[in-house]
Amino acid sequence: MIPVRGFDEQVVAVLGLGRSGLAAARALQAGGAAPVVWDDGAEGRARAEAEGFTLRDLTRPGAFEDVACLVTSPGIPHLFPKPNPVIHAALEAGVPVDNDIGLFFRSFATQDWDQFDALPKVVTVTGSNGKSTTSALIHHCLTHTGRNSQLAGNIGRGVLDIDPPENGGVVVLELSSYQTDLARALTPDIAVFTNLSPDHLDRHGGMGGYFAAKRRLFAEGGPDRAVIGVDEEPGLFLAGQMAEGPGDDRVIRVSVARKLAGPGWNVHARKGFLSETRKGRQLASIDLRPISGLPGTHNHQNACAAYGALRALGLPPRTIEAGFASFGGLAHRSQTIAEINGVRYVNDSKATNVDSAAQALKAFKRIRWIAGGLGKDGGIGGLGAELGNVEKAYLIGHSARDFALQLPDTPHEICETLEVAVARAADDATPGDTVLLAPAAASFDQFPDFEKRGEAFIALVGTLRFPD
């Protein structure tokens, strides 16, 4: 646990008692604060009360009279589309609002560090797509070398649940826009920006607000090194803002769309080969094509971003290459489940929007595509250029018929359920085909989350491998 510092004997309110909220309450208490907690749901309140925390109805008038700070869970809106009434009441009372990420950064460094030979480092990863894989890949390569590393934030452990850092240890944090938007303290040593595409726009009041939430990690966080994907205009703009000039190697630019040149520090991947250049000279190259845990251009972008962060931490190229080779990939993200009778089955349930589904469709040939669920604005209309690899689509869920209307030239079948879709795709598939779950939609019409949807796909593929 990371005890929260700076609130000795002060009352701190905690709103939302899920994983991050309860962890924040524990860490506040461990640091000497007096947390009072609230959740709209009776289940959350019961969990907190069972741990001995003091409940306070933060919706009542006067609830913030003695409160030094309100700590809120990331899923609770604080500005757009409308502030939660409790957060609004705190702001009206002049009470600052923070989250567990802000508490972490204000509390991470301690006087114990004076005894360390090498100070701990924090690597943060944000972006629209690929941040989980990039974070996990950085963590994997560090542990592969024997270096102490902890993975936390939006993946792995809660940020305040991690162990106090060891000498030379690294904490790798995946951070969503919800987390970076509100945190009052952001001080990473290395910050990574993968890419930007439309997502969570209602929460941020549009693309400008969404980009601004992620930009805070760099502009206000002031990392020693920034690893930035420059294949979209926002990333290109951000790299330009962070650099003092063309040769400023505090910025490591990343691309999978073109070869990067110039006097700066660059990492790019072309035709499956990752290259690192600095001061106009190539320093290293890695063939990414045989690495099964990193298939497709989108994973090559993740590899480039992870490589940049690992090089900034001082790892040599050949050590990074060995770590990449042993990386098995993340569950539900271009995860190969099985190969049965020459047919590959891939679980990319995390592909909940058009951009992430497009990357999956580009990564494989001869695809039997399982798509659908609770579709987002625009459906799959933006996928036209990527449908050339699709042999047939098998459509499920609430948006199945809407998606069918957007596939006039692609063979498709409305299957309604994942069970039917897997069975029909398996029946149709021939050796060399890939049965790909890349829904381009949320899961909430039929599954609690994308993980449960992916687990259901894995189980169904298991019945194909081992029939009753």
Work out whether strand 343-347 and strand 335-340 pair parallel, antiparallel, or are unpaired.
antiparallel
**Single-letter amino acid code for the residue at 306:** A
Residue 131 is assigned to a ligand binding site: yes
**Short-list 101, 28, 39, CA closest to 69:** 28
CA distance 283 to 167: 29
Q: What is residue 163's three-state secondary structure?
A: coil
Structure tokens at 205: 């009041």
Residue 349 is assigned to a ligand binding site: no
CA distances from 457 to 194, 294, 349, 381, 430 (A): 28, 20, 9, 25, 19
Alpha-carbon dihedral 445, 449, 454, 460, rounded to 10 degrees? -50
CB 257 within 8 A of CB 231: yes
CA distance 448 to 79: 26
Residue 176 is assigned to a ligand binding site: no
- Positive or negative torsion for Cα 183, 189, 193, 194: negative
Residue 127 is assigned to a ligand binding site: yes
Structure tokens at 369: 């595509």
**Axis-axis angle for helices 19-30, 100-107 (nearest 10):** 30
Structure tokens at 291: 């690495």
Phi, psi of 274 (to 5 degrees): -85, 135
Residue 323 is assigned to a ligand binding site: no
Q: Could you tell me which residues are annotated as the binding site?
A: 127-133
Q: Could you tell me which residues are annotated as the binding site for ATP?
A: 127-133
